[in-house]
């Protein structure tokens, strides 16, 4: 691996960019002063892999619905109708997601680890901070696989045009409005949602922001804020959390989808993609595919990673040997979800640290970034930018 040590973005730089969560609880910088240097061929490899993987997920999603495999994915029963309805109607457009991968550098094959399809983080870092780090160090901004900002803007327009061609957006747009919401109390989530609001506004939509609890949802009247109705609600709340923690809200949102008065972003069907148990479905449909790792609902006879259907920031993850002995683990609150076992994949490494590639997808693969940490990436991992040499 080629690692460039650069002049870092200091806290003032990051705050000027709107990124205030720049220091971790251990008082270390969250944004690394390193840049991973990659070749054009490696960048193209990440682009191609994410596009192919998304097509595979789409095929797997139809397979799950056709064969009623929601229970196998660990999906709460009270969201099945919402998933099926949002899948059937094209207007429920998937705005963006993020693939977590292994390999891709130094000739190592790219392997899918999981797909954060519903509420992926790192938008701010990938879309804004990477460019700023290149600029501060005198590199050309074009030397990145990174058009996330533009891709999101185009994909907002596709919610109306429903296809690749967005040139006629202004002709058919009729003043539809998007309400953006996050949970109160998380500055990172609020800033991320407000960045997406800016992008949507620049794309031509009428927008507004509120905390999730301030929005008014009605089965018959749809979504509103202070008497103004909105056709779209971007809610940075995981679907599985809504199902488990707020079942009445899940029922209400399902009714609103059925009554066709509100479109939720990301759509309910992204919960199928979000489930790590979908990795086993992919392996069944595409056995020994070069982008996939063997995955099973039962332990494997090899070094493996035990995960649960839903989980974030490395919580409730264990690395096991071929006999099932725990080699490393991270506790968490997701143990109640059903588990999967995925073949262990060697990560890109340099000087004792591992570098996980993350590729954003918004209609097509559109941005690369890296997270640096140990074998189980947790909330202390660092964001690392990249540069094409």
- Identify the pLDDT of residue 378: 81
> Is the pLDDT assigned to residue 232 strictly greater than 80?
yes
Task: Check residues 324 and 20 and name the one with the higher pLDDT.
Answer: 324
Q: Where are the domains of the chain?
A: 2-274+348-388, 294-343
Reported pTM? 0.95
* Percent residues over pLDDT 70 in the chain: 100
- 263's CB contacts (< 8 A; 6+ apart) are 91, 92, 93, 159, 231, 232, 233, 257
The residue written with tokens 């202004």 in the block is 170
Q: What is the mean pLDDT of residues 10-30?
A: 79
- Identify the pLDDT of residue 23: 75
The residue written with tokens 């995955």 in the block is 295
Q: What whole-number distance in Å separates Cα of residue 222 and Cα of residue 232?
A: 10
* Residues 174 and 127: beta-carbon distance below 8 Å: no
> Is the pLDDT assigned to residue 21 strictly greater than 80?
no
Q: What is the mean pLDDT of residues 123-133?
A: 91
Q: Nearest-CA neighbor of 113 among 301, 271, 314?
A: 314
* Residue 272's pLDDT band (cuts 50, 70, 90): very high
Q: What is the pLDDT of residues 185-216, one digit of tens each?
A: 888 899 899 999 999 999 999 999 999 999 99
> Is the pLDDT assigned to residue 365 strictly greater than 80?
yes
Residue 264, φ and ψ in degrees, nearest 5: -100, 140
Q: What whole-number distance in Å separates Cα of residue 23 and Cα of residue 257?
A: 40
Residue 355: strand, helix, or coil = strand
The residue written with tokens 């994410």 in the block is 50
- Identify the pLDDT of residue 295: 98
Query: How would DSSP label each residue in 259-290?
Result: TTS-EEES-TTHHHHH-TTHHHHHHHHSTT-T
> Is the pLDDT assigned to residue 26 strictly greater than 80?
no
- 380's CB contacts (< 8 A; 6+ apart) are 24, 25, 26, 373
* Residue 25's pLDDT band (cuts 50, 70, 90): confident
How buried is residue 26: exposed, middle or buried, by Cβ count under 10 Å (0-12/13-18/19+)? Answer: exposed
- Residue 68's H or E segment, with its range, is none
Name the DSSP letter for residue 8. P
């Amino acid at each position: 691996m080629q690692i460039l040590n650069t002049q870092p973005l200091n806290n003032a730089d990051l705050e000027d960019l709107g990124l205030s969560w720049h220091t971790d609880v251990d008082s270390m910088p969250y944004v690394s002063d390193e840049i991973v240097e990659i070749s054009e061929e490696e960048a193209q490899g990440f682009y191609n892999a994410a596009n192919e993987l998304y097509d595979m997920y789409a095929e797997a999603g139809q397979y799950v619905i056709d064969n009623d495999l929601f229970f196998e994915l660990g999906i709460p029963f009270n969201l099945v109708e919402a998933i099926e309805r949002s899948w059937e109607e094209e207007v429920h457009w998937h705005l963006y997601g993020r693939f977590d991968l292994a390999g891709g550098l130094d000739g190592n094959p790219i392997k899918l680890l999981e797909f954060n399809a519903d509420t992926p983080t790192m938008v701010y870092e990938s879309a804004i901070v990477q460019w700023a780090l290149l600029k501060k160090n005198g590199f050309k901004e074009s030397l990145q696989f990174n058009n996330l900002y533009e891709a999101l803007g185009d994909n907002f327009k596709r919610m109306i045009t429903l296809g690749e061609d967005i040139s006629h957006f202004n002709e058919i747009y009729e003043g539809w409005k998007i309400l953006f919401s996050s949970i109160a109390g998380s500055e990172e989530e609020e800033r991320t949602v407000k960045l997406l609001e800016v992008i949507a506004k620049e794309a031509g939509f009428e927008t507004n922001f509120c905390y999730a609890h301030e929005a008014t949802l009605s089965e018959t009247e749809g979504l509103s804020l202070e008497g103004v109705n909105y056709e779209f609600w971007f809610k940075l709340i995981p679907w599985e959390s809504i199902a488990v923690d707020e079942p009445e809200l899940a029922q209400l949102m399902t009714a609103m989808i059925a009554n066709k008065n509100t479109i939720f972003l990301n759509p309910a069907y992204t919960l199928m993609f979000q489930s790590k148990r979908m990795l086993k479905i992919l392996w069944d449909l595409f056995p020994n595919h070069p982008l996939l790792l063997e995955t099973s609902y039962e332990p494997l006879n090899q070094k493996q990673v035990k995960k649960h259907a839903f989980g974030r920031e490395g919580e409730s993850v264990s690395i096991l040997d071929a006999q099932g002995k725990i080699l490393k683990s991270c506790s968490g609150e997701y143990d109640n979800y059903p588990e999967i076992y995925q073949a262990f994949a060697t990560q890109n490494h340099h000087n004792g640290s591992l570098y996980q590639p993350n590729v954003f997808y918004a209609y097509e693969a559109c941005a690369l970034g890296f997270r640096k940490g140990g074998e189980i990436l947790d909330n202390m991992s660092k964001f690392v930018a990249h540069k094409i040499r």
